[in-house]
Amino acid sequence: YGHIVDPRTGWPIESFASVSVRAPSCLAAGAAATLAMLLGPEAGADYLRELGLPYLSVDGAGAVAGDLQG
């Protein structure tokens, strides 16, 4: 089981294997990555783009998305 738990279900999320975010602080990056994981692949990517934060995500099948270069 993963360590990110969906508060709606009480179970670990299954949408992502990993999300990495580059932000001005570790706190901002960690919070944004966690929220993106909870939102799921499409909504999570939209959320990070809206914030203007570069990111890299890996889904459960190993597909990579995003751009950490910004």
Closest by Cα among 3, 24, 23 to 12: 3
What's the token pair of residue 23?
């932000």
Report yes or no: 21 and 32 within 8 Å, Cβ to Cβ: yes
Predicted confidence at residue 69, as pLDDT, reads 79
Amino acid at 54: P
pLDDT band for position 70 (50/70/90)? low
> Tens digit of pLDDT for each residue in 9-68?
999 988 888 999 999 999 999 999 999 999 998 999 999 999 999 999 998 889 999 988
In whole angstroms, what is the distance from residue 66 CA to residue 17 CA?
14
* 46 three-state secondary structure: helix
